[in-house]
A and B are shown apart, each in its own frame.
Chain A
Amino acid sequence: MKLITGRTIEQGQNLENKLSEEYQKVVAVCELSEDDMKAVGVSEGNNVKVKTQFGEVVVVAKKADGNPQGIAFIPMGPWANAVVGGDTGGVGMPQFKGIDAEIERTSENVPSVRELLKSLGV
């Protein structure tokens, strides 16, 4: 799968409200096509673990009609950035889009923002 991260309306509405449950509800999600959801063996609302070479994170699966097969989308924020690398390729910009990722079903819980920060040793 290729992972892309980016803005959504709901993420924007909660931009300055990131410690709220509402923010987690709209940002700690992974949008997948129907075919990819079947392949991973999940339906909407199930938890999935997204793994890249930079890390892994648990988020909630969400169906996205606009996504072609093979593309996963996580709204920008702490959950997406748990699996984005810090290398900037010599231009100051990390690669936030087009990252190779594996996605699997999980029974683990979605971490809160504070739990994510804690997992960084904060």
Chain B
Amino acid sequence: MPTVTDVVCPLCGCLCDDIRVEVEGNAVKKVRGACAVGRAKILGHGRLKSPLLREGDELKECSYEEAIKRAAEILAAARRPLLYGWSCTVCETHKVGILLAEVLGGVIDNTASVCHGPTVQAVQGVGLPTCTLGEVKNRADLVIFWGANPVEAHGNHMRRYSYLTKGWFRPEGKKDRKLVVVDVRESRTARMADIFIRVEPNKDYLVLAALRAIVNGFADVVPESVGGVPKERLVELAEMMKTAQFGIIFFGMGLTQSRYKHNNIEQAISLVRDLYAFTKFAIMPMRGHYNVTGFNQVCTWQTGFPFAVDLARGYAWYNPGETAANDVLSRKECDAALIVASDPAAHFPAECVKHLAKIPLVVIDPYPSPTTEIADVVIPSAVCGVEAEGTAYRMDKVPLRLRKLVETEFLTDEEILERLLDEVLKIKGLQ
């Protein structure tokens, strides 16, 4: 059976590029080297079979031409369209999608706004002392996961990049590293840790601030217990950080989605800056979808801002809290939506889904989902990284080229958007 080597996994922000896939008769038969979640994606499962148009309570099959024409009519007629998703597709798609948003004068946002959006805002405030995953693999002797659970969410992260792997200066792998996990519960990752520190929910900010005080020599002002953590444990952790040769903090939704959001991240980044007085330290967000980072890159090149960009004024306006997807949905402001490679009906709060279901909705995606259930136009697409190639950005902002493993009759996201853009330009008399 022909084996394709060095396949890049199109699932999470790890973008593992050492996957081996056996292909026979234009079908994926076996996947080796991927985590359970990545393997499930590459092996493939239930697909949308045809473009669909809503007629009453039912979605009825139609041609690509009919679906794209109807989608263009919906979007061109909208006064304030929302274009959301983009994190499970390649950068080439983003380029066309952002141009479409500009032509429509719409709001364009990606899944960062419910993921690491607060991280992006914190980085704009205080910068990001970071590194590549290769540096972590070769150098890190202290690995801290804060509000992140890679065992469940980034299955191969510890094996390939951060903890179990052997590196140039860490020839013994995990024996040469210490693992610290900070979380509100003992996650599967926490069970592997040398030290697990349990923080009370919504108290991460306090614990980070206390650590900064201790690192900077003001342990005397820190109370005996902070956010449920005894002071002596914080003193111990601060000492570990200061005496490490190369430390790294990986952080996840535990910091971005709990109270104080971007302020938590600013504290964490500032702690790493403080540690520079003593040693080499870095910090990195555990980006979720495989190309959530890529959208932020492309959007920044093209509009000047990374996500939540409002193009209604004819120039780019960025103000998360006003211009993110959940903002325009919870205010019931948008009057049509285009969702690409994402499933907000499953992952947005109910009141936002309620509005999404009320307005005309166009979805481009390879798979049926709660969002396609409430859509008016559904356009099936090829699976990037399996049926289509393109560029994606790893969580450390390293771009990698996704490969095409099998042929497909489905159009790619990029092709669908280009056709959609052409139709919209025609309707608006711009072509």
Contacts and interface: CB of A to CB of B under 8 A. Distances in A.
B313 interface: no
A17 B367 contact: yes
Interface in A72-95: 73, 76-78, 81-95
Contacts of B369: 16, 18-19
B30 interface: no
B258 A16 contact: no
A83 to B, nearest CB: 8
A25 interface: no
B128 interface: no
A71 B357 CA distance: 32
A7 B349 contact: no
B257 A96 contact: yes
B364 interface: no
Given A54-B350, A78-B370, A93 B345 contact: no
B152 A12 contact: yes
Contact of B366 (A16, A64, A66, A68): A16
Contacts of A71: 184-185, 201
Contacts of B370: 18-19, 78, 113, 117
B259 A86 contact: no
Contact of A7 (B153, B190, B261): B153
A8 B121 CA distance: 26
A6 interface: yes
B343 interface: yes
Contact of A92 (B152, B327, B368): B327
A67 to B, nearest CB: 5
A105 to B, nearest CB: 22
A99 B281 CA distance: 33
Interface residues of B, number: 68
A97 B257 contact: yes
A16 B41 contact: yes
A92 B324 contact: yes
A97 B254 contact: yes
Contacts of A8: 152
A9 interface: yes
Given A7-B152, A19-B368, A117-B345, A82 B191 contact: no
Given A7-B152, A12-B153, A64-B185, A93 B113 contact: yes
B185 A66 contact: yes
B321 A95 contact: no
A93 B325 CA distance: 9
A9 B152 contact: yes
Contacts of A5: 257
Interface in A2-30: 2, 4-9, 12-20
A91 B321 contact: yes
A87 B350 CA distance: 11
A120 B354 contact: yes
Interface of A: 2, 4-9, 12-20, 54-55, 64-68, 71, 73, 76-78, 81-98, 113-114, 117, 120-122
Interface of B: 11, 36-37, 40-41, 45-46, 109, 113-114, 117-118, 121, 149, 151-153, 155, 184-188, 190-191, 198, 201-202, 253-254, 256-259, 261-262, 288, 307-308, 320-321, 323-327, 329-330, 343, 345-354, 357-358, 366-370, 373-374
Closest 3 pairs (CB-CB, A-B): A92-B324, A92-B320, A66-B186
